[in-house]
Structure 1
Amino acid sequence: MTPKPDGPPPNPNPRKPVLALPPGACDAHCHIYGPFDRFPLPPERSFTPNAAPETALRRLHDHLGIARAVIVQSQGHGLDHRPLLAALTEGAGRYRGVALLKPDCTEGEIAALDAGGICGVRFNFLTHLGGQPDLAAMRTIIAKVAPFGWHVAIHVAGHDIVTQEGFLGSIAAPVVVDHMARPPLAEGPDGPSIVALKRLIDTGRVWLKLSGADRLSVAGPPFHDALPIATSLARHAPERMLWGSDWPHVNLRGPMPDDGDLVDLLTEIAPGSRERQLMLVDNPQTLFNFA
């Protein structure tokens, strides 16, 4: 029997966005969970998600006009990558993946993940996802995936991006910062977290996901209070920006965001068609090596 989920399921009926996304648009940050009859949740998970299988993700993306996606392994499934690998197979080139690894992972294990369509490894710095990882362990993992050309995804919040700026700037691999680094909203686009983030982006090795506006927002839907930060970052380096839905929006207590609202925020985050082409098509094509 599957345990009771920690939060509500995603919005089952998101509206159709007004914005028509360009052909080949990519959701650079989403997750899947289940089906639980095939892939039971592991006991060592940090939270219990609702079922959100690849079939539901595909329906959502077809509804929103999204052609490609990067599925990020989540603490909900722990180190069991079978659901992710199955989704990558079912997607037949539509998806790429990001893994969670431990320092004792072997070259053979990484090679199998790579062959399955995984192209990055993620590290969480958030307390509810395990807290700050050991930097020496991170360096070990990064060195192991380097021969495969993987990127390094970083999930930080608050002033973590300031604290870790030196370390992140030392990583030779492409670095992708999730959810705009989840800075303190009250500090606005000129706060220390955004200044540090822009410095990292200016190295040319750091990319940013303009996702998680709903997590930054204090006012709630349609999350316009997150726009000053998002637009400042988008204008700073459009050639380093990505966008993600963050579906199915785990670890929220509600109300759950409407994914149509999140897509339509792009009309203000990146009002020009060229900026959206970069963010949604060209940049993910380059970074994630879609066929």
Structure 2
Amino acid sequence: MPDRITSWHSSPTKPRFTPPPGAVDAHCHVFGPMALHSFSPKAKYLPQDAGPEMLFALRDHLGFSRNVIVQASCHGTDNAATLDAIAKSDGKARGVAVVDPAIADNELAALHDGGIRGIRFNFLKRLVDDAPKDKFLEVAGRLPKDWHVVIYFEADILEEMRAFIDAVPVPVVVDHMGRPDVSQGPDGPEMRAFRSLLDSRSDIWFKPTCPDRLDAIKEGGRGDPWDAFASAVAPLVSDYADRCIWGTDWPHPNMQDEIPDDGHLVDMIPRIAPTEELQRKLLVTNPMKLYWPEQCE
């Protein structure tokens, strides 16, 4: 068995920034525990256990109220670990699943009953072997009411993704803004291309997340405190304030060489959303609309 990867900071600091009441960490994961929930044989990495108890303890430490648990690629299409965490959250978590496109409608309904509110399509070749767009569109047309599609891709394939995204028949959430090169600044070509995507549909949402990935030293950035990320992303959050949600990305897959301090990640929030109104939209109003719409009526 290959060595298992530790993907979290052992002692994250308490953030200086206090999230508003009801704040949602809208992009996080659980890994295992492997004794209960095995990892996919196709997984590109094998992480150490990071179960719901660890996640909820971090939530409380960082000052959040709820979680949206996104199925990690290491668990493939077996969503048992995510569903188990949601069941243990006392109503404070919902989730995004990864499914076989051939999934039956009754299985989608069971996922809904378990707290799932969207499905994720991953187009990162280093994480998945196959991403059949035609089959993805078919299952996207059969989703339960109020679900959405989460898409993860990198900026260099955005143009070829446009026709697929246009065809998705439900709202779309783009993970980590499609990983633009933030060193180009807020008006760089990759950020302009992403703005063009947002302008093409009023129901495309995004996550202004992962400064640790997008402004990492190994990516040509300067690392924590991620100044290039803050400069490039703050105007995007301001201009599309009603369509952004935020999350820690804990535990941080494939970041074992540069694991971020989650307290520092939270302290990025007022740098990209400097007003109380923006912070409340980013952390409360917007994620509640997507994941707890029945409580927003």
1:232 maps to what in 2? 235
Structure 1 position 43, deviation (Å): 1.9
Is structure 2 residue 167 aligned with structure 1 residue 164? no
Write out per-residue CA displacement over residues 91-113 of structure 1, whole angstroms, 9 at most, x where no aligned residue: 12101110111221111111110
SS at match of 1:235: helix
Residue of structure 1 in register with 2:20 after alignment: 22
Question: Which residue number corresponds to residue 4 of structure 1?
Answer: 3
The amino acid across from 2:236 in the alignment is L
Matched, 1:184 2:181: yes
Partner of 1:270: 273
Residue 78 of structure 1 is aligned with which of 76, 79, 97? 76
Aligned in 2, Cα 1:164/1:132: closer, same or farther, shift over 3 Å? Answer: farther
With over 3 angstroms needed to count, the CA separation of the structure-2 counterparts of 1:200 and 1:264, relative to structure 1, is same
153-162 or 213-222, which deviates more: 153-162
The match for 1:150 among 147, 152, 162 is: 147
Alpha-carbon contact 2:7-2:254 (below 8 Å) kept: no
Deviations 1:40-70 (A, max 9, x none): 2232323211211000000101000010111
**1: CA distance, partners of 2:183 / 2:283:** 28
Cα distance in 1 for partners of 2:103, 2:94 equals 20
Structure 2 residue matching 1:119: 3-state secondary structure:
strand
The residue type paired with residue 155 of structure 1 is Y
* Alpha-carbon distance in structure 2 between the residues aligned to 1:220 and 1:205: 32
Q: Which amino acid aligns with 2:109?
A: A
* Alpha-carbon distance between aligned partners in 2 of 1:227 and 1:206, rounded to the nearest angstrom: 21
The answer to whether the Cα contact below 8 Å between 2:7 and 2:256 also exists between their aligned partners in 1 is no
**How many Å separate the matches in 2 of 1:42 and 1:132?**
14
Structure 1 partner of 2:208? 210
Contact 1:103 1:141 in 2 (8 A): yes
TM-score where L is the length of structure 2? 0.92
* Cα distance in 2 for residues equivalent to 1:285 and 1:76: 27
Unaligned runs of 5+ in 2: 216-220
Amino acid at match of 2:157: D
Q: Equivalent residue for 1:50?
A: 48
Asked if 1:251 is matched to 2:264, the reply is no
Q: CA deviation at 1:132?
A: 6.2
Alpha-carbon separation, structure 1, partners of 2:110 and 2:279: 33
| Cα distance in 1 for residues equivalent to 2:223 and 2:158 | 24
260-269 or 192-201: which moved more? 192-201
Number of equivalenced pairs: 288
User: After alignment, is 271-280 or 191-200 more displaced?
Assistant: 191-200
Quick check: 1:120–1:151 contact (8 Å CA) kept in 2?
yes
Other-structure match for 1:286: 289
> 1:224 and 1:186, CA in 2 relative to 1: closer, same or farther beyond 3 A?
closer
Say which is worse superposed, 275-284 or 40-49, in terms of deviation: 40-49
Partner Cα separation in structure 2 for residue 80 and residue 240 of structure 1: 29
Is the CA contact (8 Å cut-off) linking 1:8 and 1:254 kept in structure 2?
no
Summarize deviations over 1:101-159 as a string: whole Å, max 9, x none: 122111111111011000000011111111561211111121121x4331100101122
Alignment RMSD: 1.6
* Identical-pair percentage: 38
Give the alignment's TM-score, normalised by structure 1.
0.94
Q: Which runs of 5+ in 1 are unaligned?
A: none
Instruction: Provide the C-alpha distance between the structure 1 equivalents of 2:47 and 2:159, rounded to a whole number of angstroms.
Output: 30
8 Å CA contact 1:101, 1:141 repeated in 2: no
Distance in 1, Cα, partners of 2:27 & 2:86: 14
1-structure distance, mates of 2:91, 2:203: 25
Cα distance in 2, alignment partners of residues 158 and 220 from structure 1:
20
Which digits, 9 at most, give the CA deviation of each residue in 1:7-43, with x for residues without a partner? 4331011100011110000011000011222112232
| Residue in structure 2 matched with residue 112 of structure 1 by the alignment | 110
